[in-house]
Amino acid sequence: MSFQIPRGTQDILPGEIEKWQLIEEKAKEICRRYNYHEIRTPIFEHTELFQRGVGDSTDIVQKEMYTFKDRGDRSLTLRPEGTASVVRSFVQNKMFGNPQQPTKLYYIGPMFRYERPQKGRMRQFVQFGIEALGSNDPAIDAEVMALAMELYKELGLKHLKLIINSLGDTDSRIAHREALVEHFRPVVEELCEDCQSRIETNPLRILDCKKDRNHPKMESAPSILDYLNDSSREYFEQVKAFLEELNVPYVVDPTLVRGLDYYNHTAFEIMSEAPGFGAITTLSGGGRYNGLVEEIGGPETPGIGFAMSLERFLVALEAEQIELPLEQGIDCYVVSLGEGPKKYSMSILKQLRKAGLTADRDYQDKKMKAQFKAADRLQAKFVLVLGEDELAKEVINVKDMATGEQVEVPLSEAKDYIMKRLEGGTAS
């Protein structure tokens, strides 16, 4: 019997993992520049957190969660997203009491949703996300969007579109909600089963329905932007002004509705416009969630954030045919012949590695020619050759694989010689 990986998951193997690491490093580096700090929360939480946080009426909670009972009969759920967990931790650890606010956090880790897998849509996927808690300044909405765009751009993506909308404050949302119910009520029987219940639970989500997308009432549906009260409209205007200040292009789309319940005011998505991207074009999603901290049991605290999956990032890179600048090859490969040299090669490796170089040797008792072949395969920059004669003379042959040049250097100087050559200097 042989085992297969569960549907919607993947192994990320050497050769591929370097791309993930590069994106992760870049994300961390950008977070450092924007002063966001990493937070790590558990992979599973009490199910109720997501029911309350993400929202009972969302597809995520209704259809997509990996929920199980533990041996103590508690209902636990593999996290389907990061925001609810971060807010739970913010409240539990009383981060709202820290003198420095807003609290600016980021996370990178696996999330789990029972969705129908396809390219860019997995059941286990890795999200990079940020959350800024404790500020009602529209400038931070712009900062969050700018950070997301910057990460994509710095890794080479060009065909991006930032779509923004405002869902307004509670009053605006209630007014819009009533208008939506009035608009769709007369045709409710013509809508899909989900939308028939959405009209009671969350009519905004009808606008987001894939099945009813072409219903004639869809296009004429009341736009949230017509229902924003003065303060919500002003807030949105300021967010846009800050984006302009940052030179981040955007498109306002009043039909943008996010799939999670906690949003108000700013909502946004970043789409790929690369030809050949495939069916799912959303790379990132986020927005403001001013009521969520209270919902999770904390004091009234505004919040905003976004998340992107690395899976979709990679699909976008592929669609734009961008090769990431990955480091290739190792620095040194030690070829040794005979028992003494083989033993001594361990000391050489130790020195090279201690100096920070990537160094390796043969562990399969291969002949010299095969050892050179291995060095080639590993794309070694330098091959160090040690035979009995060299060892007796306390020297080693260093071959620069790029130029073919071969030099004999004293064993005690081999490391420094290679370090100098790698720095681009000339060895004496």
Which residues would be at the binding site for ligand HAM (CB under 6 A)?
Answer: 81-83, 113, 115, 120-122, 125, 127, 129, 131, 259-260, 282-287, 305-309, 311-312
**Least Cβ distance, residue 306 to ligand HAM (angstroms):** 5
Strand partners, 286: 268, 306
Min CB(303)–ligand HAM separation in Å: 8
* Cβ–Cβ < 8 Å for 84, 293: no
| Closest approach of ligand HAM to the CB of residue 313, in Å | 8
Residue number, 307 or 391, with CB nearest to ligand HAM: 307
- Tell me whether the omega of the peptide bond preceding residue 102 falls within 30 degrees of 0, making it cis: yes
| CB of 53 or CB of 203, closer to ligand HAM | 53
Shortest distance (Å) from residue 5 CB to ligand HAM: 15
State in angstroms the smallest separation of the CB of 280 from ligand HAM. Answer: 8
Nearer to ligand HAM, 54 or 384 (CB): 54
Closer Cβ to ligand HAM, 166 or 371, answer by number? 166
Distance between CA atoms of 160 and 149, rounded to whole angstroms? Answer: 8
Rounded Cα gap, residues 85 and 42, in angstroms? 8
Q: Which residues pair with 78 in a beta bridge?
A: 44, 66
Any alpha helices (H) in 185-306, and if so which ranges?
193-201, 216-219, 230-245, 292-295
Residue 20 neighbours by CB under 8 Å, 6+ apart: 12, 126, 310, 314
* CB neighbours of residue 26 within 10 Å: 17
Alpha-carbon distance of 90 to 53, in angstroms, equals: 13
281 contacts: CB under 8 Å, gap ≥ 6:
271, 272, 273
Residue nearest ligand HAM (C-beta atom): 305
Segments of 115-179 assigned E as strands: 124-133, 160-166
> What is the rounded distance in angstroms from the CA atom of residue 38 to the CA atom of residue 312?
22
Smaller CB distance to ligand HAM: residue 269 or 331? 269
Give the pair of three-digit tokens for residue 255.
């039909």
What CA–CA distances, in Å, run from 278 to 8, 118, 273? 17, 10, 10
Pick between residue 19 and residue 381 the one whose CB is nearest to ligand HAM: 19
Closest distance of CB 355 from ligand HAM, Å: 40
* Minimum distance, C-beta of residue 249 to ligand HAM, in the bound complex (Å): 19
Angle, helix 17-34 to helix 138-154, in steps of 10 degrees:
150
**Residue 264 or 371: which CB sits closer to ligand HAM?**
264
At its nearest, how many Å lie between ligand HAM and the CB of residue 116?
Answer: 9
Least separation, in Å, of the C-beta of 126 and ligand HAM? 8
Residue 191 and residue 197: Cα distance in Å, rounded? Answer: 10
CA-nearest of 307, 217, 265, 246 to 36 is 307
From the CB of 237, what's the least distance to ligand HAM, in Å?
Answer: 21
Return the number of the residue (152 or 417) whose C-beta is nearest ligand HAM.
152
Amino acid at 212: D
Q: Kindly state the DSSP code that residue 61 receives in the 8-state scheme.
A: I
Question: 10 Å Cβ neighbour count for 333?
Answer: 28
Select 222 or 302, whichever has its Cβ closest to ligand HAM.
Answer: 302
> In the complex with ligand HAM, which residue's Cβ is closer, 96 or 114?
114
* Cross-strand pairs, 68: 76
